[in-house]
Amino acid sequence: MGLDIPLAHSPNMQSGNSIDTTKLEDLLISVVESGIDQVPPDYIKLPHDRVSRSLNSEGPQEQIPVIDLAMMEDGGPGKRQVLAEIVRACEDWGCFHMINHGVPAAVMDAALDAIKGFFALPAAEREEYRQTKNAGKGCGRSYTGQGVVRDWNNLLILTDFSGEEDRKSDRGSFYDLVLAKPPGAQEALENYGQSVNILIERSFSLVSEALGQTPEFLTRKHTSRFGTVTTHYPPCPQPDLVMGLRPHEDGGIFTLIHLDEVPGLEVLKDERWVPVTPVAHSFVFMIGDLLQIISNDRFKSVTHRVVAGPIARTVMGNFAVTSNDSVIQPAAEFCSDLKPPAFRPVVFLDYKKKLVGTGTHSKRVEAYRLGQ
C-alpha cells in the first residue's frame, strides 16, 4: 500500500492519467475462477522481478520478533521491557508481530471472514462493489498504469486514501465503503474499525515512547488517522512467474497487518528476504516511510513483498497515517550537529502522490533525502 495506497496501492494515484482502467478488465479473481492453468501474460514479471528462491533458502530461517503487549499490564518493569523489545525490533527488523494487543480474536475473525466472504461472492455481486474512476474505495487492483506488469492480487479498499480532502470524522462510520454483502459484513467491519482504532492510538503512544519521547509526541505533531485496505491473493497456477505484491514500503506512519493463516509475506533484512510465519490473531506492526523521516532514520521503513502461492490468501492492512496537510520532516528531537536532518520536509498529500516504482524497487523515501 501498500498505500500504494498508503500507500502502496492507491490505484488513482498510481495511474497518473484519467483512464478508468478498473472498468476495462475483469477482476483477477474472476479470471482465476473461470479456470486457468497458466497465468495471463499481463501478470508475468520480468525475470529479475520474480521470486528468487535461492536467496532465502540458505541457512537457518530467522523469524520476526513476537512482542506480547500483555506484559505491560503489571506496570513499570513490564512496560520498560516491552518498550525495549519494540526498540530492538524496530531497529533490527522494522517490524514485529504484536500479540495480546486488545483487539478481541472474535472481532478479528469476524472481519476477516467478512472480507473472505466478499471475495467468495458470485462474480456479478462483486462487480457491484467495483472501484470506479475518482473513487478510491471498492474492489479493484493495485498499481494501475499503462505498461505496468500487474501484481497477483485484488484489493477491497474500505478507506478512500486518495482524496484531496481529509475525511470527516463525524459520519458515524469508520469506513468509506459500505459493504452490504455478505450479510453481517458491515457490522463486523464497524466493530473491527472501532477496536483497531484503539490499538492504532495505543501504537502511536508506544512508538513515541520507543523513540524516547512522551506518549503524545507523535499525535501532538501529526493528527492520527487510520484506514483499511484489504488484499486478496487468488490461488496461482504458476507462482514463480508472478509476484503477489511487489517489493515496497508502506507510505504511512506505521501499518498493522492482519494476516490469515496462509504464508506469503516476506520482509527484507540484511538484503535477504525472510518469510513471515503467521501467528494467530497477531498484527504485524511495520514501520512506514513517514516514521523514517520523522525519526531522522532512527526507525527505517521495512521493505516487504508478497509471494503468490497455490492457496488463496486474504489480509487486512490497517494504515496509520496523518492529515493531508501535515508537514512531515525530521523532528528536532532527533537532529543535532552530529546528526543533521536527513530529509527535506514534505506535505503528506504530496508524499501520497509520489509513485512507487513500477519495476525494480527503489525506496520512495530516498527522493526526499538531503544532499542527494
Ligand X SMILES: O=C(O)CCC(=O)C(=O)O
Residues of this chain that bind ligand X (CB under 6 A)? 1-2, 8, 229, 231, 245, 250, 257, 259, 265, 304, 306, 315, 317
Based on CB atoms, which residue is closest to ligand X, 32 or 259?
259
Q: What is the dihedral of CA 249, 197, 97, 218, to 10 degrees?
A: 60
Q: Which does 231 bind (CB under 5 to 8 A by kind): ligand X, Fe ion, none?
A: ligand X
Cα separation, 141 vs 8, whole angstroms: 11
Angle at CA of residue 21, ends 320 and 319, nearest 5°: 5
Q: Which does 315 bind (CB under 5 to 8 A by kind): ligand X, Fe ion, none?
A: ligand X
Cα separation, 233 vs 263, whole angstroms: 11
- Whole-number minimum distance, CB 94 to Fe ion, in Å? 12
Q: Which of 3, 8, 188, 293 binds Fe ion (CB under 5 A)?
A: 8
C-alpha cell at 323: 492529515
Q: Which does 265 bind (CB under 5 to 8 A by kind): Fe ion, ligand X, none?
A: ligand X
User: How does 330-344 read in b/e, with b if 16+ C-beta sit within 10 Å?
Assistant: bbeebeeeeeebbbe
Does 250 participate in binding Fe ion (rule CB under 5 A)? yes
Based on CB atoms, which residue is closest to ligand X, 177 or 342?
177
CB contact set of 31 (below 8 Å; sequence gap of 6+)? 40
Based on CB atoms, which residue is closest to ligand X, 21 or 303?
303
Does 2 participate in binding Fe ion (rule CB under 5 A)? yes
Based on CB atoms, which residue is closest to ligand X, 145 or 275?
275
180 alpha carbon, distance to own chain's centre: 24
- Whole-number minimum distance, CB 206 to Fe ion, in Å? 20
- Whole-number minimum distance, CB 250 to ligand X, in Å? 5
Give, in order, the Cα–Cα distances in Å from 230 to each of 118, 139, 227: 11, 9, 10
Cα separation, 114 vs 109, whole angstroms: 8
- Whole-number minimum distance, CB 245 to ligand X, in Å? 5
C-alpha cell at 182: 455478505
- Whole-number minimum distance, CB 257 to ligand X, in Å? 5
Based on CB atoms, which residue is closest to ligand X, 283 or 343?
283
- Whole-number minimum distance, CB 28 to ligand X, in Å? 14
Q: Which does 203 bind (CB under 5 to 8 A by kind): ligand X, Fe ion, none?
A: none
Does 151 participate in binding Fe ion (rule CB under 5 A)? no
Cα separation, 323 vs 130, whole angstroms: 26
Residues that bind Fe ion (CB under 5 A): 1-2, 8, 250
